[in-house]
Copies of this chain bind each other. A is one copy, B any other.
Amino acid sequence: MAAVKLDASARDSQLQPLLAPEGGWHLVEGRDAIQKTFMFQDFNEAFGFMTRVAIKADKMDHHPEWFNVYNKVDITLSTHDCQGLSGRDITLATFIDALTK
């Protein structure tokens, strides 16, 4: 099923909690996308985290845009199909956050 952009109600109920200070995500300027930076002890821990996200992402067929250097991982989520944020981004962001709690 094609992804559809989050509607106003879903933005309030599902996106806002991620964007709140305790959620730690922020909107990317000029795009309907969210971004968050994750810090780890070292590269082993960072890449272990990336591997867990990668397996989930490929299973969902919904892939992050991400940058890593040593213990830092920057993740941007958006949905190519609908050129913006969809429920898939909420699902993946929630999964990612759960890994780091």
A43 and B58 contacting across the interface, CB-CB below 8 Å: yes
The 8 Å CB contact of A63, one of B50, B57, B63, B69, is: B69
- With contacts A43-B57, A51-B51 known, is A70 near B63, CB below 8 A? yes
Q: Chain A: how many interface residues by the 8 Å CB criterion? A: 16
Would you list which residues of chain A between 46 and 76 have a CB under 8 Å from chain B?
Answer: 47, 50-51, 54, 57-58, 63-70
Point out residues on A near B: beta carbons under 8 Å: 43-44, 47, 50-51, 54, 57-58, 63-70
User: Once the chains are docked, how many angstroms separate the CA of A97 from the CA of B44?
Assistant: 22
The 8 Å CB contact of A65, one of B54, B63, B69, is: B69
What's the nearest-Cβ distance from chain B to residue A40, in Å? 12
User: Once the chains are docked, how many angstroms separate the CA of A69 from the CA of B80?
Assistant: 11
